[in-house]
């Protein structure tokens, strides 16, 4: 185990860290002072703030946050933090610049991810364009954000880019959906030479019966490149008699053909057991 190497990693000395509690044998554990981001961090405005996408930059932290305002409209806000714990969020939503007026007409967006590829930070999110689909944008400086073409036709959610080109092509995971609380969902892998046109779609993996992930699954944060393959943290859903229950799990993907699953842990690594 100790020989596994994380590729392309950047040292982040000030990353918030809390050791595993005694008596805890879990692979992943909760921060004892959760929640990090209170729901009302933007006063008189935010109903809830979550599904954050945070990166380390210039010794500090920056991120894009899903913020539901008090109309329950979902929008994206940028935020900054020196230590990853105390955050300041821009009270104004991100205004993407877009060459095409129809695409740039922001209706609502949520569940952002941020990743550095080559020379800039790419942002993807679930973007409403006659249905939920995958919005794509970028920023160099977290000041100005540019919006590109949507990666897919609706209906799609959970679009997550890989942090480098693979075989000369950008790679993205997504979960094709319907237009509501979709009761099915697989992860697919798609490829693009230019971040505009996407193709060579490949099935990656689907739900697992009789388990925490039997209804649907979707990619989580940006995959981590290791010597053994891409480490993917993803979410799975089961349908209880009171609705959906979300948990998180892990899988290992082939480095060059990431839609090929090398290994997939059967247990979840995080599940909802605590009330905040």
Stretch that binds a second copy, among 28-36, 77-85, 117-125, 173-181 (CB under 8 A): 173-181
Q: Which two tokens stand for residue 77?
A: 């806000």
The sign of the CA dihedral 233, 226, 113, 82 is positive
User: Could you check whether the bond before residue 155 is cis, i.e. omega within 30 degrees of 0?
Assistant: yes
Instruction: Among 142, 145, 234, 268, indicate the residue that binds a second copy (CB under 8 A).
Output: 268
Instruction: Among 53, 64, 151, 166, indicate the residue that binds a second copy (CB under 8 A).
Output: 151
The verdict on 127 binding a second copy (CB under 8 A) reads no
Q: What is the residue whose two structure tokens read 């409209």? A: 73
Contacts of a second copy in 56-75 (CB under 8 A)? 69-74
CA angle 32, 37, 39 (to 5 degrees): 120
Which lies closer to a second copy via its Cβ, residue 39 or residue 164? Answer: 39
How many Cβ atoms sit within 10 Å of the Cβ of residue 104?
14
Instruction: Among 238, 248, 250, 253, indicate the residue that binds a second copy (CB under 8 A).
Output: 238
- Closest approach of Cβ 11 to a second copy, in Å? 31
Nearest C-alpha neighbor of 220 from the set 253, 247, 190: 247
Binding mask 6-35 for a second copy (x = CB under 8 A): -----------------x-xx---------
Contacts of a second copy in 176-215 (CB under 8 A)? 176, 178-179, 181-182, 184, 186, 188, 190-194, 196-203, 206, 210-212
CB 160 within 8 Å of CB 113: yes
Binding interface with a second copy (CB under 8 A): 23, 25-26, 39, 43-44, 47, 69-74, 102, 107-108, 128-131, 133, 149-156, 174, 176, 178-179, 181-182, 184, 186, 188, 190-194, 196-203, 206, 210-212, 238-244, 247, 266-268, 271, 273, 275
């Amino acid at each position: 185990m100790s020989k596994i190497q994380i590729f392309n990693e950047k040292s982040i000395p000030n990353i918030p860290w809390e050791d595993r509690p005694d008596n805890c044998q879990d692979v992943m554990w909760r921060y004892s002072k959760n929640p990090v981001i209170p729901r009302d961090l933007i006063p008189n405005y935010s109903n809830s703030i979550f599904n954050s996408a945070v990166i380390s930059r210039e010794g500090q932290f920056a991120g894009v946050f899903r913020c539901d305002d008090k109309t329950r409209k979902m929008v994206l806000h940028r935020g900054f933090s020196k230590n990853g714990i105390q955050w300041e969020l821009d009270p104004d939503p991100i205004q993407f610049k877009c060459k095409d007026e129809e695409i740039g007409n922001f209706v609502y967006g949520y569940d952002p991810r941020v990743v550095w590829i080559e020379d800039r930070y790419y942002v993807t999110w679930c973007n409403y364009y006659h249905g939920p689909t995958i919005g794509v944008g970028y920023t160099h400086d977290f000041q100005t954000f540019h919006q590109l073409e949507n990666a897919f036709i609706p209906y799609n959610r959970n679009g997550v880019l890989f942090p480098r080109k693979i075989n000369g092509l950008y790679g993205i995971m997504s979960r094709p959906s319907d237009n509501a609380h979709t009761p099915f969902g697989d992860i697919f892998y798609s490829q693009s030479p230019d971040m505009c046109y996407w193709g060579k779609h490949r099935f990656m993996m689907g739900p697992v019966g009789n388990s925490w992930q039997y209804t649907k699954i979707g990619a989580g944060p940006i995959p981590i490149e290791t010597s053994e393959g891409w480490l993917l943290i993803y979410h799975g859903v089961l349908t209880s008699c009171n609705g959906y229950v979300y948990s998180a799990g892990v899988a290992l993907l082939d480095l060059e053909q990431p839609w090929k699953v090398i290994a997939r842990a059967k247990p979840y690594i995080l599940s909802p057991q605590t009330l905040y």
